[in-house]
Amino acid sequence: MQEKEILFGGRWRKTSRRIAVVNPYSMQTLAEVCTAGSGELEEAISSASEAAKKMKKLSRFQISQALRLIADGIERRRSEFIRSIAEEAAKPVVYARAEVERAIATFRWASGEAERFVGEIVPVDTQPVGKGKIGWTQRVPRGVIFGITPFNFPLNLVAHKVAPALASGNAIIIKPSSKTPLTALLLGEVFLESGLPESALQVLPMESKLVSAIFDDERIKMISFTGSAEVGWKLKAQAPKKQVTLELGGNAPVIIDETADVDKSVERSVFGAFSYSGQVCISVQQIFVHSSIFDIWTEKFVSQAKALKRGDPLDEETRISSMIDEEAAKKTEKWVGEAVENGAKILCGGTREGNFYAPTVLTNTSPEMKVVSEEVFAPVVVVEQFSEFEESVEMANRTKYGLQVGVFTQDFARMRYAFDNLEYGGVIINDVPTFRVDNMPYGGVKDSGFGREGLRYAMEEMTEIRLIVAG
């Protein structure tokens, strides 16, 4: 069994503490990973502070070139990253491969943004007092950023914090999920070949309770958190003086009206609901189908859900594998059971074997059921019907979450009505809410988050505006 050191202070280090990283599918221990304690965290913050000073002195060209080297390094070691994601996260290799390609694109896009991320001219002579003067702004890096990432995208969600942080001239400390730290550590290896200051990225697996030490530490200028709404909002409340970006949970619905392409909407909804066992914050959880096509649409959807191949995540044919751990699968089993006890009907699935939970479709649900009101984060989807389009929008808005929503319709007026009235950070027309490209603004409203990710938008969060007026 391999022992993995962690990256802080510009080099790989051993510590006295270890966590076991287990493959959720095979239940084999992949590695014993060192974890940081309070002493290592203090050293990392101190090193990051010095690295931030060095980053501010680098030219746009130097940073852009370094980010391109990171992208090239991921591409060169693509097979290692794919296997790491598939093994530690039990993510089917077809999806692990897509995640690696996205991470490569993320760093390449960040390389370009590093060159064109500028301020603006401010016309201060619009008032008499400004005659003869010129003003302009510049985006300046905040300094040290602390990033916290979850298990479900162990590379690309790390990339979405690291790439914009470096592109905008910051240093960043990443706390990866304790369940999936190996991929983040592999990214650390690639980073060290980029030529950037060695402590500009540090990867510190650690106990969550240690994070409280950063709340009052003035050297940490920003916290970027991806995870549950419960944890995220508590974190923001405990760090009121810091810039905080929260990318939190979702309960993503899809609306399918009578003009929609049935086959396309079924195929995309199956993908959106069951990819990576639904363990995605924009996974499809509720589907509202017009009553005139409800029966045929649901029949096709259930048929395709049943046909998903279950198995080893390293098998190219596998489309659904184990959940991250048995606790997650048991929670799913409990919530589905509670729904059935209260009148919900199972159209397929509803069974658990260890860490595996079968793709499950429910109907005849009610808003107070947890499978409807909360984020399930599992391969469970609710299908209900509506008569009027406006009714479907009301149904979609009843959740406390608001990350992304999908709408399948050929009616332009309904597209506009959906955009104007759906309370979500992103409205995806004729595709599922699971759609994301890495340069678009990404974030939610209501309980789904605060601020935006997506390269340039994250860079705006990670920098401050500085004004100069000269005359």
Summarised one tens digit per residue, pLDDT across range 333-352 is 999 999 999 999 999 999 99
Residues 60 and 160 in one domain: yes
pTM value is 0.97
- Both tokens of 169, joined, read 């001239």
For 14-36, write each residue's pLDDT tens digit.
Answer: 999 999 999 999 999 999 999 99
pLDDT at 1 over 90: no
Chain centroid, CA 70 distance in Å = 20
For 256-314, write each residue's pLDDT tens digit.
Answer: 999 999 999 999 999 999 999 999 999 999 999 999 999 999 999 999 999 999 999 99
Distance, in Å, from the CA atom of 255 to the CA atom of 272, rounded to the nearest integer, reads 13
Q: Is residue 183 part of a domain?
A: yes
Residues 314 and 208 in one domain: no
60-76 helix and 93-116 helix, angle to the nearest 10 degrees: 170
Residues 230 and 267 in one domain: no
Residues 87 and 193 in one domain: yes
| CATH number reported for the structural domain that contains residue 157 in this entry | 3.40.605.10
Q: Are 175 and 152 in contact (CB under 8 A)?
A: no
Percent of the chain past pLDDT 70, that is, above it, reads 100
Active-site choice (40, 247, 460, 461): 247
User: CB neighbours of 79 closer than 8 A, spacing ≥ 6?
Assistant: none
Q: Is residue 413 part of a domain?
A: yes
Residues 271 and 241 in one domain: no
Q: Is residue 457 part of a domain?
A: yes
Q: Is residue 442 part of a domain?
A: no
Q: Is residue 406 part of a domain?
A: yes
Distance, in Å, from the CA atom of 457 to the CA atom of 467, rounded to the nearest integer, reads 20
| CATH number reported for the structural domain that contains residue 370 in this entry | 3.40.309.10
Residues 302 and 166 in one domain: no
Q: Looking at residue 440, what is its pLDDT?
A: 97
Q: Is residue 307 part of a domain?
A: yes
Residues 299 and 351 in one domain: yes
Residues 291 and 338 in one domain: yes
Distance, in Å, from the CA atom of 314 to the CA atom of 88, rounded to the nearest integer, reads 11
Residues 313 and 410 in one domain: yes
> In what order do the strands lie in the sheet containing 121-122?
121-122, 134-141, 463-470
34 in catalytic set? no
Residues 203 and 147 in one domain: yes
pLDDT at 384 over 90: yes
- Both tokens of 158, joined, read 């790390």
Q: How many CB atoms lie within 10 A of CB 395?
A: 18
Residues 11 and 72 in one domain: yes
Structural domain of 165: 2-248+448-470
Q: Which residue shows structure tokens 């159209």?
A: 347
For residue 427, give the nearest of 450, 447, 451, 409 by alpha carbon.
409
Active-site choice (34, 87, 198, 281): 281
For 129-178, write each residue's pLDDT tens digit.
Answer: 999 999 999 999 999 999 999 999 999 999 999 999 999 999 999 999 99
The mean of the pLDDT values for the chain is: 98
Q: Is residue 402 part of a domain?
A: yes
> How many distinct structural domains can be found in the chain?
2
Alpha helices in 315-411 (DSSP H): 326-341, 370-373, 389-397
Residues 265 and 244 in one domain: no
Length of the chain as a residue count: 471
Bridge partners of 144, per DSSP, are 171, 220
Helix, strand, coil percentages for the chain (3-state, nearest 5): 40, 25, 35
Q: Is residue 367 part of a domain?
A: yes
